[in-house]
DNA sequence: GGTCTCCTAACAAACGGTCGTTTGGCCCAG
DNA sequence: CTGGGCCAAACGACCGTTTGTTAGGAGACC
């Protein structure tokens, strides 16, 4: 029995998955055709397996049973697909993190909620997460800046939780919030390289164990 | 003043960089031509910036002031270049880790030496490290298996240090060695995405801070 | 010293193929 | 009868690699 589940209360579901005003109207943007969604899914899978530059329109067409030229009935360019996959991944991580960060309670609880949520999100959309982390840099400057902004927001949320914890005395005052934030992001972002859905541990369990290791390091006082 | 340097003794140079018997004879393999070394360096840089599939022989040729066909006087194929870069990166990490792991002393000291060495190695050869971590999966099966073996060796060294620490009572018995090893690898392997040589912190300082955070988590007893 | 031969490294050109994208026409569901 | 979805074909560009050739230097021999 690992000590995991005892060190801190579990986040037990961070929030009920956003009711958020804008549900019925669906104001902006054309309703995405189901065929286009299929295409984006296939792109997530293929880009994550073969890389963006290693995936051709031929590959994508074959995945849907179409000729490569036919794909242009649904997209403007190959890069549109990359952006859709990457942006979708960014939004999932970001909205999860916002829920975790704003959930109130001790910083340790919020940080755990964020890390567990991160691992869960990566696990549930492993392809998109892989593309989000690996291939976003191949976007051309304008869309890449858009993604960079979301990454910065995400990192800011993590760092804020840690600073809060230091300010409130929960975390050791010697902790460098920037470095601790990077440690959390490292643990979360490296997951996609080794997590496999058929592995021994569930994503939630992994998130809990990582939280334990990291939170112990943050709360421990230095030696006398 | 961060508490960093006080928690544990510094590794203060792990070992004197291997004199190792085989220095004069240089027994096997043809002496690599200087031009070929230039080419591998350029490949490391370009592959790290644009990805393997995003780099053409044209790009590589331009970097050396040659026609793309002329490169085949020095290499057998584009993949040879990828392998040289990746394998060189793997060897650097592995030999550093072997020195750290076999340096004797407490597990905490060895783990710190390994992590500091890891960050230093990644920083000194940032391009090769990036390619090693990002592009190695595009190798074809046989060379990829060779790299995989070295990665497994590396992870084994990390995990062994942690198990030693648990067995000796240095680390908390509740620690999951596999997960803690992955946390160390995550911290070290994510570095290349954010470390920049002109940044505020030196690689060694980063390694020390990360070691502090992780070691505190490993040595701490759970709450009563 | 001359010159002949070999070797290396490079070039220009071409190979067959694939790239991402565009176009024009056909089919069928609304 | 209109229009979205698809195909077949073509576009020009570029891909990784191979080929035939050449300039220049290093020795070997006369």
Substitution target from B183, B194, B200, B221 for chain A, most A beta carbons within 10 A: B183
- Separation of alpha carbons A168 and A8, rounded Å: 17
Nearest to A74 by CA among A49, A43, A48: A43
- ipTM computed for the complex: 0.85
- Output the pLDDT for position A33: 76
> In this predicted structure, what is the pLDDT of residue A35?
85
Of A51, A165, A49, nearest in space to A107 by CA: A165
pLDDT tens profile B96-151: 999 999 998 999 999 999 999 999 999 999 999 999 999 999 999 999 999 999 99
pLDDT in tens, B199-209: 999 999 999 99
Residue B74 Cβ under 7 A from any strand D atom: no
Give the pLDDT mean for B59-80.
94
As a whole-number percent, the residues of chain B with pLDDT over 70 amount to: 83
Tens of pLDDT, residues B167-223: 999 999 999 999 999 999 999 999 999 999 999 999 999 999 999 999 987 776 544
Q: Is pLDDT above 50 for B164?
A: yes
Residue B22 to residue B15: CA distance in whole angstroms: 17
Nearest nucleic acid nucleotide to A69, CA to C1' distance: C21
State the number of CA atoms in the 13 A half-sphere of A37 facing the CB. 5
**Positions of strand C less than 7 angstroms from a protein CB:** 8-14, 18-23
Please tell me the number of Cα atoms within 13 Å of A176 on its side-chain side. Answer: 18
What is the C-alpha separation between B201 and B214, in angstroms, rounded?
18
**Residue stretches of chain A with pLDDT short of 70:** 1-32, 220-224
What pLDDT, on a 0 to 100 scale, did the predictor assign at position A220? 63
* Chain A residues with CB-CB distance to B138 below 8 A: 51, 54
Burial (Cβ within 10 Å: 0-12, 13-18, ≥19) of residue B77: exposed
Quick one: CA torsion of B94, B96, B98, B101, rounded to 10 degrees? -130
Give the pair of three-digit tokens for residue B41. Answer: 């360096």
Residue among A3, A6, A186 minimizing CB distance to B186: A186
Q: How many CA atoms are closer than 13 Å to the CA of B191, on its beta-carbon side?
A: 32
B217–A222 CB contact, under 8 Å:
no
The yes or no reply on domain A78-219 and CATH 1.10.357.10 is yes
DSSP secondary structure letters along A172-193: -TT--HHHHHHHHHHHHHHGGG
Quick check: A154 and B184 in contact, CB under 8 A?
Answer: no
Any atom of strand D under 7 A from CB of B13? no
Task: Tell me what pLDDT residue A8 has.
Answer: 37
Of all residues in chain B, the one with the smallest CA distance to A8 is B223
- Write out pLDDT tens, residues B15-68: 443 333 333 333 334 456 778 999 999 999 999 999 999 999 999 999 999 999
């Amino acid at each position: 029995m690992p000590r995991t589940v005892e060190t801190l209360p579990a986040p037990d579901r961070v929030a009920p998955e956003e009711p958020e005003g804008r549900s019925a109207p669906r104001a902006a943007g054309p309703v995405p055709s189901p065929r286009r969604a299929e295409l984006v899914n296939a792109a997530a899978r293929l880009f994550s397996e073969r890389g963006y530059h290693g995936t051709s329109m031929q590959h994508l067409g074959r995945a849907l049973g179409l000729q490569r030229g036919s794909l242009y009935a649904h997209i403007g360019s190959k890069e549109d697909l990359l952006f859709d996959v990457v942006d979708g991944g960014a939004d999932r991580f970001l909205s999860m993190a916002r829920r975790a960060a704003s959930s109130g309670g001790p910083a340790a609880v919020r940080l755990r909620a964020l890390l567990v949520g991160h691992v869960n999100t990566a696990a549930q959309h492993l392809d998109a997460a892989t593309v989000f982390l690996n291939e976003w840099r191949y976007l051309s400057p304008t869309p890449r800046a858009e993604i960079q902004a979301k990454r910065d927001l995400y990192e800011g949320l993590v760092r804020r939780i840690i600073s809060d914890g230091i300010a409130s005395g929960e975390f050791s005052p010697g902790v460098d919030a920037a470095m601790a934030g990077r440690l959390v992001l490292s643990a979360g972002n490296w997951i996609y390289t080794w997590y496999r859905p058929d592995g021994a541990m569930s994503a939630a369990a992994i998130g809990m164990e990582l939280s334990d290791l990291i939170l112990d390091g943050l709360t421990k006082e230095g030696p006398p």
